[in-house]
Chains A and B, each alone.
Chain A
Amino acid sequence: MAKFGYDEAVVVIIGSGAGGGTLANELCQKGVKVVVLEAGAVQSPATFVNDEWKSFLQLAWLDNRTTSGNWRVAKDFPNLPTWICKTVGGSTTHWAGASLRLEAHEMKARTTYGNIKGANLQDWPITLKDLEPYYAKAEDKMGVTRTNGIPGLPGNNNFKVMHAGAKKLGYKDVHTGNMAINSVPRHDRGRCMQIGFCFQGCKSGAKWSTLYVELPAAEKTGNIDLRAESHVTRIEHNEAGKVSGVIYFDKDGKEQRQKARVVCVAGNSIETPRLLLLSASNKFPDGLANSSGQVGRNYMRHLTASVYAAFKEPVHMYRGTTMAGIIRDEAGNNTKRGFVGGYEMETLSLGLPFMAAFLNPGGWGADFSWWMEQYANLAGMWIVGEDMPRETNRVTLHKDLKDKWGSAIPNVHFDDHDNDLAMRNHAFAAGENVYKAAGAIKTFRTPPYPSTHNLGTCRMGLDAKTSVCNSFGQTHDISNLFISDGSQFTTGGAENPTLTIVTLAIRQADHITAQMSSKNL
């Protein structure tokens, strides 16, 4: 691994997940020197554990956060608004692998859905057509099934139940998904062993992760200096208003300053805006890149509800790939259903320990116990739908509470929009219908819990007055400061966001290198 000096003006990337890890590799391949600062520690397929709580403690971002708003998470998980990771590779260690492109109409949300009261909708500053060549590169890089001649994954028992119910209802677009999990050996990684435990880090390495795909590839170029357990607390700027370096605490707890030519922030949609807000200065009193006041706003979380169903016969849903199963028929925009946007239904299973924690948080009594006793006979699905961006759903700095580095902790405020509630109710009913059609004796609506899809808090847009960055993630206010994660999303779409985050990172790398060559950066 390369070692660059603190005084070398390199490209500094904060975070090593889907956005940061991909961007790092793409830049390194083009000969750009990169320092990646990752808050978490290094794990590997060998150190991942098939144990939900142990893995959670190993991988999850557990720094204290507070919540407010009318969402149920604020009551059930007041200090854990998200289920994302603090580890090298970020949440690509935990993600389930579902890799779907955004739809053309979703990238024109304001035009398609119209003026929805209480929502802050905008069209993306780019179209699906602009992204298509980059989506193709991302799918090839990640090895997405049903693209590039890669066969689909074999369906597990949980998928068989979903499929049988869906077909009975007449749903047509039902299959084992577009998954960045090898169905056949590819690119030096083996095929999926149907382990289950996709959320706990893939022990066979069949699932794409920046941890063992992008970052090692970057390392081979000699252009990356990856510093794990390095927590960034501030981005600095010079008198000209360009960012000039970052302050971080290294693995020994020592404060360091890394000089930077370009800073790319990819800390996921809570830490990214938080860092911009924490970096407020005399020149930028409201935080970096925040002349629009939109930093931290328009936080989205993709509905994140689930349906479980009990059957007379065993299902053993925990066996095999967790999310290789999808019904896409409800993903379109059909306002006859009483809401705009759409949702996907995807197979989901939890182990017994997390079923106890997430089935019905706070629930107890004979009914709850009944569900736990049905564990072997349960099938489950996750509902991933487009939620409305709202200015008031936002990440802010806590007035009083500080973390161990003395920085204000983030508060995450979220109120469900009426459209979110209508969509969730529709999706709950649709999910229940699927399982009833497959013969369920009972169904259960699991409420939203800490989300892994966190989007929109530094959105991209054409107008610097109403958005934080342009279509390349380059902030309107500071040309050498970039947003490189899901925070860029103008709207959420219904699809699992990782593929789009990777796609945007590939596109951003092209832009940064071009700008560096022409001496604009």
Chain B
Amino acid sequence: MKIIAIANTTIQLGGCEETEGTVTKQNLPLTRREFLSGSGILFGTIALSSTLAALAPSPAWALELKTLSAAEGTTLMKMGRVLYPHAKLPDAVYALLAKDLDAGASGDAKTATMLKDGIASLNKAANGNFDNATEAAKLAAVKSIEGTPFFNAVRGKCITSLYDNDMAYAAFGYPGASFDKGGYITRGFQDLKWLPEPSKEASPAAYMG
């Protein structure tokens, strides 16, 4: 997955209740059915000062969950930050984790139950409220469930959700595909200057036609 689903949100930001953190709660007219099915929408903004903002169609992002509630999605995002803490990555990247886990739970009741129960157990391990626990308490709560199927599912999903997307590529300095740019033959494959150059025997000059 390389394209990030960051929707151009049309939601009136004036209706928001700002709470702590970068994930904003929205006063949204949820239908009863949506409410009962537990579907949620995650929202956030990418700071305009971030170099990653250029990768998003809009600084505000919204992400719809099909099976998990917004609260559950938020907890998964925060758990993702404990597992793989990166100050460089905006919440929009951690929201991809919630989205991908939610996608796995949709249409698979067993997975949905495993995730919901796991989130509940994580909250329990953090004295009832994982989201608002201190960083140390969050870490302790995650450690206490290490090795459970829920932990393994979330940790495993992090690997692809957090590190295989354009924002992560940009944040960590990985440009992805190079063939479309002609490879690196003229783009710095041997531009390292802070160590002595190898001999021509060890490393012959590049053939340039």
B30 at the interface (CB under 8 A from A): no
Contact present for B190 and A156 (CB under 8 Å)? yes
Within residues 112 to 159 of chain B, which ones have a CB less than 8 A from any CB in chain A? 155, 158-159
Closest to A152 in B: B204
Besides A159-B203, A353-B160, 18 other A-B contacts (C-beta < 8 A): A49-B177, A50-B176, A50-B179, A154-B204, A156-B189, A157-B189, A157-B191, A174-B198, A183-B207, A193-B179, A318-B174, A319-B187, A352-B174, A356-B164, A366-B85, A376-B173, A376-B174, A438-B195
Contact present for B83 and A364 (CB under 8 Å)? yes
A65 at the interface (CB under 8 A from B): no
With A155-B202, A161-B195, A196-B184: A373-B163 Cβ-Cβ less than 8 Å: no
| Cβ distance A234 to chain B, nearest Cβ, rounded Å | 36
| Residues of B bordering A, CB below 8 Å | 1-2, 83-86, 88, 155, 158-160, 162-164, 168-169, 172-180, 182-185, 187-192, 194-198, 201-207
Contact present for A191 and B207 (CB under 8 Å)? yes
With A157-B191, A159-B198, A372-B84: A151-B176 Cβ-Cβ less than 8 Å: no
Dominant secondary structure at the A interface: loop
Closest to B146 in A: A364
Contact present for B177 and A369 (CB under 8 Å)? no
A88 at the interface (CB under 8 A from B): no
A357 at the interface (CB under 8 A from B): yes
In the complex, A155 Cα to B203 Cα: how many Å? Answer: 5
Closest to A159 in B: B203
Instruction: Annotate A337-370 by CB proximity to B: 1 below 8 A, 0 otherwise.
Output: 0000000000000011101110000101110110
Residues in A neighbouring B202, C-beta threshold 8 A: 152, 155, 163, 174-176
In the complex, A363 Cα to B197 Cα: how many Å? Answer: 35
Residues in B neighbouring A151, C-beta threshold 8 A: 204, 207
Instruction: Tell me which of B160, B177, B192, B206 has the highest count of chain A C-beta atoms within 10 A of its own C-beta.
Output: B192
Residues in B neighbouring A176, C-beta threshold 8 A: 202-204
Contact present for B163 and A353 (CB under 8 Å)? yes
Q: Which of B83, B169, B190 contacts A160 (CB 8 A)?
A: B190
Contact present for A320 and B184 (CB under 8 Å)? yes
| Cβ distance A114 to chain B, nearest Cβ, rounded Å | 35
Instruction: Tell me which of A51, A52, A353 has the highest count of chain B C-beta atoms within 10 A of its own C-beta.
Output: A353
Contact present for B184 and A194 (CB under 8 Å)? yes
In the complex, A176 Cα to B197 Cα: how many Å? Answer: 13
Contact present for B201 and A175 (CB under 8 Å)? yes
A333 at the interface (CB under 8 A from B): no
| Cβ distance A249 to chain B, nearest Cβ, rounded Å | 29
Q: Which of B163, B179, B204 contacts A197 (CB 8 A)?
A: B179
A53 at the interface (CB under 8 A from B): yes
Residues in A neighbouring B2, C-beta threshold 8 A: 51
Instruction: Annotate A35-60 by CB proximity to B: 1 below 8 A, 0 otherwise.
Output: 00000000000000111110000000
Residues in B neighbouring A167, C-beta threshold 8 A: 196
Residues in A neighbouring B203, C-beta threshold 8 A: 152-155, 159-160, 163, 175-176
With A316-B188, A356-B163: A368-B84 Cβ-Cβ less than 8 Å: yes
Q: Which of A49, A184, A320 contacts B189 (CB 8 A)?
A: A320
Contact present for A204 and B179 (CB under 8 Å)? yes
In the complex, A412 Cα to B82 Cα: how many Å? Answer: 35
| Residues of A bordering B, CB below 8 Å | 49-53, 151-157, 159-161, 163-164, 167, 174-176, 183-185, 191-197, 203-204, 313-316, 318-320, 351-353, 355-357, 362, 364-366, 368-369, 372-373, 375-376, 438-439
Contact present for A161 and B190 (CB under 8 Å)? no
Q: Which of B84, B184, B192, B205 contacts A161 (CB 8 A)?
A: B192
Contact present for B176 and A153 (CB under 8 Å)? no
With A50-B178, A176-B204: A204-B191 Cβ-Cβ less than 8 Å: no
Contact present for B185 and A51 (CB under 8 Å)? no
Closest to B182 in A: A193
Contact present for B173 and A375 (CB under 8 Å)? yes
| Cβ distance B97 to chain A, nearest Cβ, rounded Å | 13
In the complex, A362 Cα to B151 Cα: how many Å? Answer: 11
Closest to B155 in A: A364
Question: Across chains A and B, which 6 residue pairs bring their CB atoms closest together, nearest first?
Answer: A155-B203, A193-B183, A376-B173, A50-B177, A320-B189, A195-B183
Residues in A neighbouring B164, C-beta threshold 8 A: 52-53, 352-353, 356
Contact present for A352 and B169 (CB under 8 Å)? yes
With A53-B164, A176-B202: A352-B172 Cβ-Cβ less than 8 Å: yes
Residues in A neighbouring B1, C-beta threshold 8 A: 53
Contact present for A375 and B159 (CB under 8 Å)? no
In the complex, A197 Cα to B179 Cα: how many Å? Answer: 9
Residues in B neighbouring A161, C-beta threshold 8 A: 192, 195
Contact present for A160 and B176 (CB under 8 Å)? no
Closest to A352 in B: B174
With A163-B202, A175-B201: A204-B177 Cβ-Cβ less than 8 Å: no
Closest to A163 in B: B198
Contact present for B160 and A195 (CB under 8 Å)? no
Residues in A neighbouring B86, C-beta threshold 8 A: 369, 372-373
Closest to A153 in B: B204
Closest to B88 in A: A373
Contact present for B177 and A194 (CB under 8 Å)? no
| Cβ distance B159 to chain A, nearest Cβ, rounded Å | 5
Contact present for A375 and B183 (CB under 8 Å)? no
In the complex, A390 Cα to B173 Cα: how many Å? Answer: 43
In the complex, A161 Cα to B180 Cα: how many Å? Answer: 27
Closest to A362 in B: B155
With A319-B184, A352-B168, A372-B84: A160-B160 Cβ-Cβ less than 8 Å: no
In the complex, A485 Cα to B42 Cα: how many Å? Answer: 52
In the complex, A375 Cα to B168 Cα: how many Å? Answer: 11
Contact present for B162 and A356 (CB under 8 Å)? yes
In the complex, A504 Cα to B77 Cα: how many Å? Answer: 53
Contact present for A164 and B196 (CB under 8 Å)? yes
Closest to B173 in A: A376
Residues in A neighbouring B198, C-beta threshold 8 A: 155, 159-160, 163-164, 174
| Cβ distance B139 to chain A, nearest Cβ, rounded Å | 8
Interchain residue pairs with CB less than 8 A apart (9): A50-B179, A50-B180, A155-B190, A175-B201, A316-B191, A319-B178, A320-B190, A356-B162, A372-B86
Residues in B neighbouring A197, C-beta threshold 8 A: 177-179
Residues in B neighbouring A153, C-beta threshold 8 A: 203-204
Residues in B neighbouring A372, C-beta threshold 8 A: 84, 86, 163, 172
In the complex, A154 Cα to B198 Cα: how many Å? Answer: 10
In the complex, A368 Cα to B173 Cα: how many Å? Answer: 17
In the complex, A392 Cα to B163 Cα: how many Å? Answer: 38
Residues in A neighbouring B174, C-beta threshold 8 A: 318, 351-352, 375-376
Closest to B192 in A: A157
